[in-house]
Amino acid sequence: MKTKILSTGLAITGLVIAMIGQGCNADAKKETTVKEAAPKTETFKLETGKLSTALQLPGELTAYQQVDLYAKVSSFVKLLNADIGSQVSKGQLLMTLEAPEMSAQVAAAKSKLKSQEAVYTASKANYERLFETSKTPGTISKNDLDQAIAKRNSDEAQLEAAKAAFQEVGSIQNYLEIRAPFSGVITARNVNLGAYVGPSGKGSELPLFTLQDQKKLRLAISIPEVYTGYLEDGHEVSFTVRSLPGRNFTAKVKRLSGALDTRLRSERVEMDVPNADKKLLPGMIAEVNIPLPANASTFVVAKNAVLDTSEGIYVIRVENGKAVKVMVKKGRETDDKVEIFGDLKSGDELVAQPSEEVKDGSVINR
């Protein structure tokens, strides 16, 4: 009986051991299967490339030349020879002003000039007579001759002063005629006949006229700091305006400020826009398309290869089968590509779709 019981116990023990062994083998097989099924990490070789992009910016159209015309002297509007929309040429008379007291000042200055001319003529003639007489010894004393010379010189100086005063009044009187400093179109008129105008007081708040040269316009834009190195003098840009949606206009860069605005951190750039048909108007807002051709070979990667996290912007490089974070800076971007700059070299192996869960030193299965 004891022998039978012992045999039965040994059999049961063997069965248990066999079941445990089978379970261990199943776990080992399962683990092996999981390891074999682990997905590989996709990588790629870093290469240089050229990325051509375009920049969309708003711009403002302004007149090539614009001036506000004011009255120099206090006066009244006597004649109006131009109005809003008038095409005028350089030097054309736009307005005549009237200042009655100015006529009196001109008359007084002219009278003083005539009087001083007579005084000078008399003193000059007196000196010349004394000088001729002094050639005979003993007739004229040297003191009398010196006094005559001094009187002549004094009267001559007074005459020059009278001439200057007369010219000054005459110049001021010329301000009573308002003329166009350049050819263009009158875009504003703020006075009527009989209105009082002057350099100060009522009538001087607004300009008499605003004159614009619209045959050529200026297109001004502000280029962000990061793009200033891509735009140079002579580069061509295109733009559109809302009032003419079916037309595309072009312009060439003519002036770059060469400095950044301290508030916007951008550079002001101006382009000249021909406008012979005057379809474009000063004050219009333009949508400017600026092509930014690649001017150097840089590293260009897919956007998915760059991680932008709270730790910074970086890519993951594979070194000896392990992950290494490399901090980078972004350059220009397209829909799916981006320039990167950092401690990288051509041929580096980068992870194509990195994750924040990948840490430095993590094993990369590829």
| Per-residue pLDDT at 137 | 81
More confident residue, 168 or 204: 168
More confident residue, 284 or 168: 284
How far is the C-alpha of 286 from the C-alpha of 293, rounded, in Å?
Answer: 22
Name the region of 37 (left: φ>0; alpha: ψ -120 to 50; beta: rest). Answer: alpha
pTM score of the predicted model: 0.60
Question: Which residues, 6+ apart, have CB-to-CB distance to 88 below 8 Å?
Answer: 82, 94, 180, 183, 184, 185, 186, 211
Q: How far is CA 187 from the centre of its chain?
A: 25
More confident residue, 37 or 167: 167
Structure-token match 């007196």, residue found: 126
pLDDT band per the 50, 70, 90 thresholds, residue 16: very low
How far is the C-alpha of 349 from the C-alpha of 108, rounded, in Å?
Answer: 94
- Say if residue 13's pLDDT is above 60: no
Q: Which CATH architecture has domain 209-292?
A: Beta Barrel (2.40)
Output b/e per residue, 53-68; b: 16+ Cβ within 10 A. Answer: bebebebbbbbbbbbe
Q: Looking at this protein, which amino acid is placed at residue 109?
A: A
Q: Around Cβ 261, how many Cβ atoms within 10 Å?
A: 12
Q: How is the chain split among helix, strand and coil, in percent rounded to 5?
A: 30, 35, 30
Backbone angles phi, psi at 126, to 5 degrees: -60, -45
Question: Which residues, 6+ apart, have CB-to-CB distance to 64 below 8 Å?
Answer: 213, 214, 215, 216, 217, 218, 272
| Per-residue pLDDT at 210 | 95
